[in-house]
């Protein structure tokens, strides 16, 4: 069974469909792994009853497969509503909430045959790239239990690294797929905005910064899960056609032109070793036939940041205003979320319009950049995994961070205009901590980004070459202050 835990999701799916392994065997191995590891890592939360899970798996042993995920244990991110299974958004306000219906993402993965076993841990309201909350505590990095697994898809990334998940869903507004993937030596893909649709709740016209997407230990798994998640939701605007991301996945990189943006001309402070790790990854791409060219900053970083925080605050104020207006809810809401909402409530229409103009200008600049390059590369994070008892890194390379999320500045260029971006592992620090780099493509070129990642994965196989050592002891998750 240990071998099955190391399989990719694609290998496991093929074996289940060929009836070489039964879903009940897979579930038994999964439950044993969770029992052995999750106490230390704290990635899987709201775990369903093991007997019920085994019964569900046995019922699938002789059933005709429904889809690619048939019989595969799957934990859904706790920002996604799951029918009959507690969903909290990491907030004590919702600590006992059990939805009566699935969000569209959960429904699609369930329809593809996944056995929903529990949820993956997140920061409160998904805000801040460190997965801790007052209900479930801190998710820890499987490579060092004293370090953060990132966020907001920290539970998903840690679960993948610790072999408690074969494949996982995540979401990404400000690096929430990419940062934890880099921290945990796995892959996280932010698709072109609109490829994975939103649910028809609240605003769906202005809310174009965040998207859901796939995570995995291989790029093939990421591509296959994307095809489960993607596809039009007729109840929301801006549909995007689903590309064929599989047929050209192994196309190779010969002649591909890649721009290296490094630290954006010094605008993004980096901890020592981050850029060097990415440059080692770029050398792999060059060895595979790509042409890598260092680039100067294509747009003022401070303008991107100003547009980003303005639009983000506007959306937070619009969607979460009740959290500050209701004293009881405010008392149960973390200060970073209150700050976001209050920033948004103080905005003028002129400020929001100016932010949208900056966003529009960056989109035009990026389009011209992608006429010259097939992809550009940036680090996935500006820091190595930091101590798990921090709320966030307050300083990088001697530069003070002026907000709780300023240390994630490097993800903003892709997020602001909805570009596809794949975080790929690039190796480890001398202390054994993982890092990653973003491969970013033009809007709509999800297939090209994934093909670049596939060639890189076949040459490196970092998740397979360097799995975490088994967690040998339980670490009590403290409250983060």
Q: How far apart are CA 205 and CA 439, in angstroms?
A: 27
Neighbour tally for 64: CB within 10 Å: 7
Nearest to 122 by CA among 50, 47, 184, 180: 180
Neighbour tally for 88: CB within 10 Å: 23
Q: β-strand 257-260 against 291-294: which pairing, if any?
A: parallel
Determine the pLDDT at residue 418: 98
| Per-residue tokens: 231 | 């596809």
Please, which residues have CB within 8 angstroms of residue 264's CB and are 6 or more apart in sequence?
Answer: 297, 301, 378, 410, 413
Determine the pLDDT at residue 39: 97
pLDDT band at 480 (very low <50, low <70, confident <90, very high): low
Q: What is the pLDDT of residues 162-202, one digit of tens each?
A: 999 999 999 999 999 999 999 999 999 999 999 999 999 99
Determine the pLDDT at residue 359: 98
What would the mean pLDDT of 402-413 be, rounded to a whole number? 98
pLDDT band at 472 (very low <50, low <70, confident <90, very high): very low
Task: Give the chain's mean pLDDT.
Answer: 96
The answer, yes or no, to whether residue 341 has pLDDT greater than 50, is yes
Beta strands of 173-255 (E only): which ranges?
Answer: 187-190, 211-216
Q: What is the pLDDT of residues 71-118, one digit of tens each?
A: 999 999 999 999 999 999 999 999 999 999 999 999 999 999 999 999
Determine the pLDDT at residue 2: 63
Nearest to 251 by CA among 455, 449, 446, 422: 455
Determine the pLDDT at residue 1: 57
What would the mean pLDDT of 53-58 be, rounded to a whole number? 98
- Domains of the chain with CATH codes: 2-465 (3.90.1300.10)
Q: How far apart are CA 443 and CA 213, in angstroms?
A: 15
Count of alpha carbons within 13 angstroms of residue 189, beta-carbon side: 37
pLDDT band at 476 (very low <50, low <70, confident <90, very high): very low
Nearest to 402 by CA among 272, 305, 480: 305
Angstrom distances, CA of residue 39 to CA of 166, 474, 481? 19, 6, 21
Burial class (CB in 10 A: 0-12, 13-18, 19+), 363: middle
Nearest to 210 by CA among 244, 236, 185: 236
Planar angle of CA 285, 366, 404, nearest 5 degrees: 85
Contact 258, 291 (CB under 8 A): yes
Contact 48, 21 (CB under 8 A): no
What would the mean pLDDT of 449-465 be, rounded to a whole number? 98
Determine the pLDDT at residue 394: 98
Q: How far apart are CA 312 and CA 342, in angstroms?
A: 12
Neighbour tally for 417: CB within 10 Å: 22
Q: What is the pLDDT of residues 104-154, one digit of tens each?
A: 999 999 999 999 999 999 999 999 999 999 999 999 999 999 999 999 999
Q: What is the pLDDT of residues 284-293, one digit of tens each?
A: 999 999 999 9
Beta strands of 206-261 (E only): which ranges?
Answer: 211-216, 257-260
What would the mean pLDDT of 272-278 be, rounded to a whole number? 98
Q: What is the pLDDT of residues 280-339, one digit of tens each?
A: 999 999 999 999 999 999 999 999 999 999 999 999 999 999 999 999 999 999 999 999
Q: Which helix (H) or strand (E) holds 392?
A: none
Q: How far apart are CA 392 and CA 412, in angstroms?
A: 17
Q: What is the pLDDT of residues 375-395, one digit of tens each?
A: 999 999 999 999 999 999 999
Please, which residues have CB within 8 angstroms of residue 17's CB and are 6 or more apart in sequence?
Answer: 65, 70
Residues in the chain: 481
Determine the pLDDT at residue 371: 98
Q: How far apart are CA 456 and CA 380, in angstroms?
A: 16
Determine the pLDDT at residue 473: 35
């Amino acid at each position: 069974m240990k071998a099955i835990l190391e399989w990719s999701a694609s290998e496991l799916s093929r074996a289940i469909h060929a009836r070489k392994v039964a879903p009940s065997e897979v579930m038994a191995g999964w439950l044993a792994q969770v029992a052995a590891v999750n106490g230390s890592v704290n990635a899987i939360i709201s775990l369903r009853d093991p007997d019920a899970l085994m019964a569900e798996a046995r019922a699938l042993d002789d059933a005709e497969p429904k889809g690619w995920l048939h019989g595969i244990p799957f934990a859904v991110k706790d920002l996604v509503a799951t029918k009959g299974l507690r969903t909290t958004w990491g907030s004590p306000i919702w600590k006992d909430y059990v939805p009566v219906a699935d969000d569209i993402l959960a429904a699609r993965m369930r329809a593809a045959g996944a056995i929903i076993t529990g949820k993956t841990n997140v920061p409160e309201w998904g805000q801040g790239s460190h997965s801790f909350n007052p209900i479930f505590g801190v998710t820890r990095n499987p490579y060092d239990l004293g370090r953060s697994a990132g966020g907001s898809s920290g539970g998903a990334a840690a679960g993948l690294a610790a072999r408690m998940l074969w494949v996982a869903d995540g979401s990404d507004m400000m690096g929430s797929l990419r940062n934890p993937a880099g921290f945990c030596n796995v892959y996280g893909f932010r698709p072109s905005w609109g490829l994975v649709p939103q649910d028809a709740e609240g605003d769906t016209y202005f809310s174009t910064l965040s998207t859901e997407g796939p995570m995995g230990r291989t790029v093939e798994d990421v591509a296959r899960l994307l095809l489960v998640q993607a596809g039009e939701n007729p109840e929301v605007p801006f549909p995007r056609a689903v590309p064929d991301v599989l047929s050209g996945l192994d196309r190779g990189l010969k002649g591909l032109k890649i721009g290296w943006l490094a630290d954006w001309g010094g605008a993004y402070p980096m901890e020592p070793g981050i850029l060097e790790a990415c440059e080692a990854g770029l050398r792999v791409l060059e060895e595979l036939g790509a042409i890598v060219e260092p680039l100067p900053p294509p747009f003022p970083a401070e303008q991107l940041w100003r547009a980003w925080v303005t639009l983000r605050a506007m959306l937070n104020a619009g969607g979460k205003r009740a959290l500050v207006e209701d004293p009881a809810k405010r008392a149960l809401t973390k200060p970073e979320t209150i700050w976001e909402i209050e920033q948004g409530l103080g905005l003028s229409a002129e400020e929001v319009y100016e932010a949208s103009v900056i966003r529009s200008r960056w989109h035009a600049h990026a389009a011209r950049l992608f006429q010259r390059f097939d992809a550009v590369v940036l680090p996935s994070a500006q820091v190595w995994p930091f101590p798990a008892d921090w709320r966030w890194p307050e300083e990088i390379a001697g530069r003070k961070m002026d907000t709780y999320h300023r240390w994630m500045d490097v993800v903003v260029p892709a997020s602001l205009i909805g570009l596809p971006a794949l975080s790929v592992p690039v190796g480890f620090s001398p202390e054994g901590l993982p890092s990653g780099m973003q491969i970013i493509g033009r809007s709509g070129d999800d297939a090209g980004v994934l093909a670049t990642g596939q060639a890189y994965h076949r040459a490196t196989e970092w998740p397979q070459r360097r799995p975490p050592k088994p967690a040998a002891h339980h670490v009590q998750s403290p409250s983060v202050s």
